[in-house]
Amino acid sequence: MNKLQSVWINELSWDDVENYLKKENIVILPVGSTEEHGLAGPLGLDSYAAIALAEDVAKKSGILVAPPLWYGDSSHHLGFAGTMSLNTSTLMAVISDLCESLAKNGVKKILIINGHKSANLPAIISAVKNLHEYSLQNVFFAVAGPMKIAKGIASKIKDNIEHHVGELEVSHVWYKYPHLIKNEKLSKKGIDYERIFSQYSQYDLFGKSGDVIDIPWNSKEQKAFAPDGSFSDSSQSSPEKGKEYHEYMVNVLVNFISWLKTYKGPIGNS
Amino acid sequence: MNKLQSVWINELSWDDVENYLKKENIVILPVGSTEEHGLAGPLGLDSYAAIALAEDVAKKSGILVAPPLWYGDSSHHLGFAGTMSLNTSTLMAVISDLCESLAKNGVKKILIINGHKSANLPAIISAVKNLHEYSLQNVFFAVAGPMKIAKGIASKIKDNIEHHVGELEVSHVWYKYPHLIKNEKLSKKGIDYERIFSQYSQYDLFGKSGDVIDIPWNSKEQKAFAPDGSFSDSSQSSPEKGKEYHEYMVNVLVNFISWLKTYKGPIGNS
Amino acid sequence: MNKLQSVWINELSWDDVENYLKKENIVILPVGSTEEHGLAGPLGLDSYAAIALAEDVAKKSGILVAPPLWYGDSSHHLGFAGTMSLNTSTLMAVISDLCESLAKNGVKKILIINGHKSANLPAIISAVKNLHEYSLQNVFFAVAGPMKIAKGIASKIKDNIEHHVGELEVSHVWYKYPHLIKNEKLSKKGIDYERIFSQYSQYDLFGKSGDVIDIPWNSKEQKAFAPDGSFSDSSQSSPEKGKEYHEYMVNVLVNFISWLKTYKGPIGNS
Amino acid sequence: MNKLQSVWINELSWDDVENYLKKENIVILPVGSTEEHGLAGPLGLDSYAAIALAEDVAKKSGILVAPPLWYGDSSHHLGFAGTMSLNTSTLMAVISDLCESLAKNGVKKILIINGHKSANLPAIISAVKNLHEYSLQNVFFAVAGPMKIAKGIASKIKDNIEHHVGELEVSHVWYKYPHLIKNEKLSKKGIDYERIFSQYSQYDLFGKSGDVIDIPWNSKEQKAFAPDGSFSDSSQSSPEKGKEYHEYMVNVLVNFISWLKTYKGPIGNS
Amino acid sequence: MNKLQSVWINELSWDDVENYLKKENIVILPVGSTEEHGLAGPLGLDSYAAIALAEDVAKKSGILVAPPLWYGDSSHHLGFAGTMSLNTSTLMAVISDLCESLAKNGVKKILIINGHKSANLPAIISAVKNLHEYSLQNVFFAVAGPMKIAKGIASKIKDNIEHHVGELEVSHVWYKYPHLIKNEKLSKKGIDYERIFSQYSQYDLFGKSGDVIDIPWNSKEQKAFAPDGSFSDSSQSSPEKGKEYHEYMVNVLVNFISWLKTYKGPIGNS
Amino acid sequence: MNKLQSVWINELSWDDVENYLKKENIVILPVGSTEEHGLAGPLGLDSYAAIALAEDVAKKSGILVAPPLWYGDSSHHLGFAGTMSLNTSTLMAVISDLCESLAKNGVKKILIINGHKSANLPAIISAVKNLHEYSLQNVFFAVAGPMKIAKGIASKIKDNIEHHVGELEVSHVWYKYPHLIKNEKLSKKGIDYERIFSQYSQYDLFGKSGDVIDIPWNSKEQKAFAPDGSFSDSSQSSPEKGKEYHEYMVNVLVNFISWLKTYKGPIGNS
């Protein structure tokens, strides 16, 4: 690799970044998790998803990427060995500190790519909302992740209900990091959402949901209702599905960055 | 009103609550906001929504309601006079303290009714998730609000895109508190979401969304892109629409409480 | 009610408040509690006291009132069902956030009416002192409550020692919200302060105290020394006493607001 | 001094304290401040008051004293050089940590002697109330200070209104630490409380107060309304008055400790 | 790579970790930084150092490694683009949360490898000290990093004073990640420590220091006294020196882990 | 003592300090601890060390000293009666608040003298580093203590390994406060560092250390491996050794202050 052309800030020297910021002002921050993903998926699955998206989008868009945050808000998975979770308030502080650092040296637009479905979102959304209101009013923030940017394609690819350790997130990592999926151990059935969480459960994170009432569960309960860690039937996962899913999301994000490059803030005045 | 039969904890004496808890263990906590709702809506609109739902559900289900929290996370509306916001961390602490108090005297199931579309959710969801993992493992929490429990009916009632100060939330308060809506000042058009927030905006909070990238805006920007405080065309609001919307949501919540009364935790073992 | 003339911010739209602030710059913030008040008083008694004072003073003075905070620092009452307490640090944060919000849109003088005798005061006083020193140096704060503004009349009205669930606070709510007092259950005797708290107890909160040493008690202890929740003989409470007490306090506060309207800060330079 | 007989924990070795705790379980914690006390008083005046009371009471009662905390909540005095203040939250944390430490090794009753009139009280009272409710339910706390324990004698000694840098607090330190008072610089007049703080000012901290509304002032304002730092006429201070004042307070505290030695908690069950 | 044999927790599934913990109870946590390392070194240099040590020690010792933390306490480097720093309190929280997570599933001994000379140490040491005293009394913690574990070899390898961007840390990364060093840009001289920090400067972090007084500098000052980000003459760096340095440290850590495997806590009772 | 010439801020009035600050801008802040120091040393030993150094340096340099902080981060000593510890975060807040106070009235250079070997350092260093980066960029901070400023003399005076309750710290207090040392109880042997903490222990805090891995121990463990509280052989302590040690350190600090008086910040531009 030509060391001057890496998209990863960690591989560059400070003057490389300073030079980049003379021409461009966007940086991507990938946020993952280290939490159980069943018997077939690696503990770092969400991080790999964020890293893969960030890197490919960055290369296509000519944008830099900050080093990945391998840890997220995974307390509900702490019943399984290897899960390592940040408290919600800690994750908020981490996101806040990293964005403050980027802003201090001239980054004006920060795109956070969250690889961990919904559980990281309260912390990330809160952090950037408060930064944008109170300390970094002139920095633009955007938060994107598979759960929300693959809505347009998910139902066309997948064959099953997608929740934790679902067919799509497994396929995604299988495509990009094939040695990390133990495909012989993919789960063949999902949990019974309606019995566990009432009829008002958002059982398919990518599906057309009906009325939803949110019910948090804790790590002990999760171990009871999903003993092997998987919530979903992922048996029809494949690298091919992962490729289609990945490329669709990369495309969404590349389009977004094209828009963002031309955007002149503040929001509403562009 | 027969004072022994009030559903409001604030109107009862402690022994009334103690007696209630011998037979039942559910309490509803209504959470609102005090934030601008355009020229036609009162600053307390979200609180009135939460109060109206809580009270009617409580009466139908024979459940007690805690005093309302009139304040939420509304920092993005602080550009408008009368808006009073709690910081995200403060709201988390309030929710946490109130749930701890309820649990201390035997409440086992807490239903939070959030009247403030999405902005309160990161704080509320984080608070109850962490309580349930770390200090109140045996208390069941549920979080419900109009944005998620009226998905099954919204598109059948409303004629316009629903975002802040939308047709449905205005209709809701108009139906229950008619003197609080200045209907002659209802807004006739919405903001241009796509121009402001890119094509990846979730412009209709009740609609079938496509791919979404979250972009927080601050109070100064909001004042610029929505100078009168309204994001939505609410001109077709009516008390009749509000009645249909309200009754649908009351029905969802009454059904949910019926399920909840029979539920034996912990989650997944019922 | 003419909706333009409500004193409650929650009933007004943002432009109503903006117009008000062109002529006036005072807002009242009522702070109560949800805590046991014996077998005769409602859990919301302190909140009703704050609300009644705020509303009547506001109407007489032409001042706006923020929505009530129904929750205070009541941890020592947590032994009784229905009590819901904010931690001291949470209450400080709530007061601080709400005052910051008011100040952001031009409120220059904030009068907090505390309905909860002394237990809310450390948090409220600390919050406003620190705001006034560190972030809102140009906003004037005042804190008032029955315990301190009825000193001139209390001994002329009441016949008994006044402590928690005392004759005056019961009479106050009886006068304003008669359906909330179960007068047949009023307590006929007080606790033995000297035995419990030594000779240095401030047993009559409205009396001429001698030397005092402060001793905090916890919720378990309170349940033991005051099993029905009442500390005081409230048997001679009456709506008439409540009326005299209420009107005296309203008068004090109206006088104070008259002074405040003419006051030009900063303090000491007026 | 016989080193085994010092009342100061800092002068003893750990086994001395361990032996003491086999027979007795009370410790005194003196809390002062470092803040301006006019042109005549030393910055450490409040700390000296707390130290003098703690030491003399300890010697008479056979009780140990923890090392003094020289710093309190003095932010409103920060306009004057030499004032060093802890934030309210910091002071709460310090009190909390020190009491936790004492409790960990068997101290069961903690008497905090506050030398700093009212400004330290919100932090101290909050700290011990929360300790007693949440972590140290079986430890007894008491908080005493000149403003509240000299009510029975103050008006008999002093000739003037007593507020900051008042006749009694100056006399107190003059009696115990004569070299620290510059008596030629005592102030001859007090500030005009009513003009500055309205008719509802508690101008004499030891007097019979009427109706009071609390108004915090900040350090900039204080510098304006009391340019030399003194609020009170202290010109009639004397070591003789200080002696009478000191001995009265020592007596109150010795009496209290006698009661405390026989007290068997928890409160209300003794 | 055989996926079952990876030392990285992120590459394993939860049951792999659970099985590991049946036989072994040590985990390594590598902590780095993203901060400027002059014109020749990558921003991630400290992280690469921690990762390289962790991985090689883990492989030799048969121990698992948690995913790396790419961010440390680098506020003093924020004058240079690309530097991303966690606040001290945030880093403490991150370390604390990750160790709590590991402990929850049975890890009993945690070795933190810090790649960032001294600046991360206050946060890391404080975090583990407090965990070990207050919440994880039965978990053993150790903290190791190049600055302290290469004392026995440093002076034998290096030819120059070693401070920020020193000969040894550059050589280390050069050896392990050769494409990340721009050797043509290595600095040829160090800063003048004595002029900048007095004669009491610890100018050679690996040298025999004399009397030292610690003086923190901020990011603006650093930009002034070290305009290209380097403090040290690194011109004699080489992959060969890096190899010798790396292998020495790996050996120290492997020895330590051998001792640790036989260690039976608690400390002092082994 | 001439009261105008005291070096202690607590003994001066505010105008004395104001006058001092017209000519000089350095203040010393002594920080100690209250923790066990074996059977021979007083609990306040570290505080006495800090006080003695601060006072003598101040007198020789014509510099003022703030009142001492008698409490430090001593949680690992809490197994012994009389130990009173501040949490790390509390100590950070105290240091931060006191430095902010000093800076507010014109102090430009703050020298913290830490009497408590290494355990206070993470909190102190973190506090001043963050103040200097974020809020007090123009205030110069220095942190000095016996462990680092007596390196040049320690091995010439002492005859034994120096760790907690070592020969030098005992001699120091013996020299300055002879009545506080019970010399008949000095410990005759040290603990077995290598067995307890592996071969990578920094057993002699003043010695030439080899490779070191930091291992925190907790208060329960300390009570087990050092039952009388002493880690070191202090039997060869003497007032004479203390005098030599003290005078050396005073000399280092006086030299440093001479340099500091001429220093013109910011750092690197002098």
Asked if C205 is an interface residue toward chain D (Cβ–Cβ < 8 A), one would say no
How many Å apart are CA E106 and CA D123, to the nearest integer?
40
Question: What ipTM did this prediction achieve?
Answer: 0.96
A residues 241-270 closer than 8 Å to E (CB)? none
CB pairs under 8 A between A and E: 194
Instruction: pLDDT band for A269, please (50, 70, 90 cuts).
Output: confident
Min Cα–Cα distance to chain B from A145, Å: 8
The token duo for A55 is 């890197």
pLDDT value at residue E3? 41
pLDDT value at residue B117? 86
Give yes or no for a contact between B143 and B125, defined as CB atoms under 8 angstroms apart: yes
Radius of gyration of chain A (CA): 19
How many Å apart are CA F98 and CA F123, to the nearest integer?
14
Which residues, in sequence order, are CB contacts of F210 under 8 Å at separation 6+?
E151, E152, F200
The nearest alpha carbon in chain A to B142 belongs to A215
pLDDT value at residue A3? 41
- The 10 Å Cβ neighbour count of residue C134 is 12
B residues 101-130 closer than 8 Å to A (CB)? 121-123, 125-126, 128-130
pLDDT value at residue F265? 81
What percentage of residues in chain C have a pLDDT greater than 90? 92
> Are the Cβ atoms of C215 and D87 closer than 8 angstroms?
no
pLDDT value at residue B270? 56
User: How many residues in total does chain A contain?
Assistant: 270
Min Cα–Cα distance to chain C from D75, Å: 7
Asked if B217 is an interface residue toward chain A (Cβ–Cβ < 8 A), one would say yes
- Amino acid residing at C11: E
Quickly list H helices, A24-165. Answer: 45-61, 88-104, 121-130, 146-149, 151-157
For residues C93-117, b (16+ Cβ closer than 10 Å) or e, as one string? bbbbbbbbbbbbbebbbbbbbbbbb
The nearest alpha carbon in chain F to D48 belongs to F10
Which residue's entry shows tokens 């005759």?
F188
pLDDT value at residue C1? 35
Query: Nearest Cα to A121, choosing from A99, A143, A151?
Result: A143
3-state secondary structure of F157: helix
Asked if C227 is an interface residue toward chain D (Cβ–Cβ < 8 A), one would say no
Q: What is the largest CA-CA distance in chain A?
A: 57
Min Cα–Cα distance to chain D from F151, Å: 27
Residue-wise pLDDT tens digits, C213-238: 999 999 999 999 999 999 999 999 99
Give yes or no for a contact between A144 and A248, defined as CB atoms under 8 angstroms apart: no
How many Å apart are CA A16 and CA A6, to the nearest integer?
10
Residue-wise pLDDT tens digits, F160-207: 999 999 999 999 999 999 999 999 999 999 999 999 999 999 889 987
Three-state DSSP string of F20-58: HHHHCCEEEEEECCECCECCCECCCHHHHHHHHHHHHHH
For residues B161-183, b (16+ Cβ closer than 10 Å) or e, as one string? bbbbbbbbbbbbbbbbbeebbbe
> Are the Cβ atoms of D218 and C148 closer than 8 angstroms?
no
pLDDT value at residue F207? 78
How many Å apart are CA F128 and CA F133, to the nearest integer?
8
Predicted TM-score of the model (pTM)? 0.97
How many Å apart are CA D217 and CA D223, to the nearest integer?
10
Quickly list H helices, chain B. Answer: 14-23, 45-61, 88-104, 121-130, 146-149, 151-157, 167-176, 193-197, 219-225, 239-262
Asked if F50 is an interface residue toward chain D (Cβ–Cβ < 8 A), one would say no
pLDDT value at residue E118? 92
> Are the Cβ atoms of A75 and B129 closer than 8 angstroms?
yes
Give yes or no for a contact between A87 and E96, defined as CB atoms under 8 angstroms apart: no
Q: Could you read off the pLDDT tens digit of each residue along chain E, which spans 270 residues?
A: 334 479 999 999 999 999 999 999 999 999 999 999 999 999 999 999 999 999 999 999 999 999 999 999 999 999 999 999 999 999 999 999 999 999 999 999 999 999 998 999 999 999 999 999 999 999 999 999 999 999 999 999 999 999 999 999 999 999 999 999 999 999 999 999 999 999 999 889 987 768 999 999 999 999 999 999 999 999 999 999 999 999 999 999 999 999 999 998 888 875
Mutate to test the interface with D, among F1, F6, F10 (most CBs of D within 10 A): F10
Residues of chain B falling short of pLDDT 50? 1-4
Residues of chain C found within 8 Å of residue D99, distances taken between Cβ atoms: none
Min Cα–Cα distance to chain C from D2, Å: 32
* Dihedral angle sign, alpha carbons of residues F40, F45, F49, F55: negative
Query: Nearest Cα to A211, choosing from B250, F155, B178?
Result: B250
- The 10 Å Cβ neighbour count of residue F81 is 24
Instruction: pLDDT band for C270, please (50, 70, 90 cuts).
Output: low
Residue-wise pLDDT tens digits, F56-71: 999 999 999 999 999 9
Q: Average pLDDT of A76-97?
A: 98
How many Å apart are CA D74 and CA D36, to the nearest integer?
9
Min Cα–Cα distance to chain A from E233, Å: 17
For residues C180-206, b (16+ Cβ closer than 10 Å) or e, as one string? bbbeeebbeebbebeebbbebbbbbbb
Query: Nearest Cα to B32, choosing from B17, B53, B46?
Result: B46
pLDDT value at residue E270? 55
Give yes or no for a contact between C7 and C58, defined as CB atoms under 8 angstroms apart: yes
Q: What is the phi-psi region of residue A190: left when phi exceeds 0, alpha when psi lies from -120 to 50, beta otherwise?
A: beta
- Amino acid residing at F29: L
- Amino acid residing at D47: S
Which residues, in sequence order, are CB contacts of F12 under 8 Å at separation 6+?
D42, D43, D82, F3, F4, F6, F20, F64
Query: Nearest Cα to D70, choosing from E2, D54, D58?
Result: D54
- The 10 Å Cβ neighbour count of residue D11 is 21
The token duo for C253 is 């506060």
Q: Average pLDDT of C155-176?
A: 96
Which residues, in sequence order, are CB contacts of F96 under 8 Å at separation 6+?
F127, F130, F131
Residue-wise pLDDT tens digits, C191-209: 999 999 999 998 899 877 6
Instruction: pLDDT band for F2, please (50, 70, 90 cuts).
Output: very low
Between the alpha carbon of residue D113 and those of residues D28, D34, D148, F204, the distances in Å are 7, 15, 11, 41
Which residues, in sequence order, are CB contacts of C247 under 8 Å at separation 6+?
none
Min Cα–Cα distance to chain F from E250, Å: 12
Query: Nearest Cα to D9, choosing from F220, F81, F181, F114?
Result: F81
Asked if A163 is an interface residue toward chain E (Cβ–Cβ < 8 A), one would say no
Q: What is the mean pLDDT of chain F?
A: 95
Using a 10 angstrom Cβ sphere, with 0-12 exposed, 13-18 middle and 19 or more buried, the burial of residue D6 is buried
Which residues, in sequence order, are CB contacts of C23 under 8 Å at separation 6+?
none
Residue-wise pLDDT tens digits, A220-253: 999 999 999 999 999 999 999 999 999 999 999 9
> Are the Cβ atoms of B133 and A200 closer than 8 angstroms?
no
For residues D94-117, b (16+ Cβ closer than 10 Å) or e, as one string? bbbbbbbbbbbbebbbbbbbbbbb
Give yes or no for a contact between F120 and F73, defined as CB atoms under 8 angstroms apart: yes
Is the predicted pLDDT of residue A124 greater than 60, yes or no?
yes
Query: Nearest Cα to C47, choosing from C176, C220, C148?
Result: C176
The token duo for E110 is 């945690």
The token duo for E98 is 């990750």
Residues of chain A found within 8 Å of residue B76, distances taken between Cβ atoms: 129, 133
Identify which of F216, F225, F267 has the shortest CB distance to residue E268: F225
Query: Nearest Cα to B197, choosing from B214, B218, B220?
Result: B214
Q: Could you read off the pLDDT tens digit of each residue along chain D, which spans 270 residues?
A: 334 479 999 999 999 999 999 999 999 999 999 999 999 999 999 999 999 999 999 999 999 999 999 999 999 999 999 999 999 999 999 999 999 999 999 999 999 999 998 999 999 999 999 999 999 999 999 999 999 999 999 999 999 999 999 999 999 999 999 999 999 999 999 999 999 999 999 889 987 778 999 999 999 999 999 999 999 999 999 999 999 999 999 999 999 999 999 998 888 875
> Are the Cβ atoms of B17 and C67 closer than 8 angstroms?
no
- Amino acid residing at B189: K
3-state secondary structure of A154: helix
B residues 173-192 closer than 8 Å to C (CB)? 179-180, 182, 185
Residue-wise pLDDT tens digits, E165-206: 999 999 999 999 999 999 999 999 999 999 999 999 988 998
Instruction: pLDDT band for F5, please (50, 70, 90 cuts).
Output: confident
Asked if F48 is an interface residue toward chain E (Cβ–Cβ < 8 A), one would say no
The token duo for D60 is 């008479």
How many Å apart are CA F19 and CA F13, to the nearest integer?
10
Give yes or no for a contact between E29 and E111, defined as CB atoms under 8 angstroms apart: yes
Residue-wise pLDDT tens digits, F80-121: 999 999 999 999 999 999 999 999 999 999 999 999 989 999
Which residue's entry shows tokens 């009168």?
B228
Mutate to test the interface with F, among E149, E200, E231, E261 (most CBs of F within 10 A): E200
How many Å apart are CA F188 and CA D122, to the nearest integer?
48
